[in-house]
Structure formats: structure tokens, C-alpha cells
């Protein structure tokens, strides 16, 4: 139960300004605002090629639990 509360406490509220990713088709850019990782492979991302986004997220936030 304590673990579930910890997970819930770490969630962000869904509200204006809480976006995590931008898809800018004109500039051919997809950016994750949590990690600042971005790519110009918009078509690849739309086809599900998101491994680099996942890796950037895990690298950024896996160290938080170690402190």
C-alpha cells in the first residue's frame, strides 16, 4: 500500500502546461519536455520508433530513486 501511495504521489496532474512531448511537423521535430531529448525523425516516432525516448527517460529518472 505504501508503494502504491509513493507511485501516486509521483504522478503529475493533467492540466494546462503539463505537456510531456511536442510534435512539430513543420520543423520535423519531436521533443520530450521531461528529458529534453528530441529527434527530427517525426515519421519514425509516429510509426512507433520511441526506444530513444524511453531510454532518455529511464536514464534521466532512474537516478532519482538512488538518492
For 32-52, the pLDDT digits (tens) are: 999 999 999 999 999 999 999
The residues spanned by each domain of the chain are: 19-66
Burial of 10 (0-12, 13-18, 19+ CB in 10 A): exposed
pLDDT tens profile 21-31: 888 888 899 99
Q: What are the cell numbers at 44? A: 519514425
Residue 65 has pLDDT above 60, yes or no: no
**Where do the H-state alpha helices sit in the chain?**
2-9, 42-46, 51-62
Residue 56 has pLDDT above 90, yes or no: yes
Q: What is the pTM of this model?
A: 0.63
Amino acid at each position: 500500500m505504501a508503494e502504491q501511495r509513493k507511485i501516486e504521489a509521483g504522478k503529475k496532474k493533467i492540466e494546462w502546461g503539463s505537456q510531456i512531448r511536442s510534435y512539430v511537423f513543420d520543423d520535423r521535430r519531436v521533443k520530450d519536455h521531461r528529458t529534453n531529448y528530441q529527434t527530427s525523425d517525426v515519421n519514425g516516432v509516429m510509426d512507433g520508433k520511441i526506444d530513444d525516448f524511453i531510454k532518455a527517460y529511464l536514464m534521466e529518472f532512474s537516478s532519482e530513486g538512488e538518492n
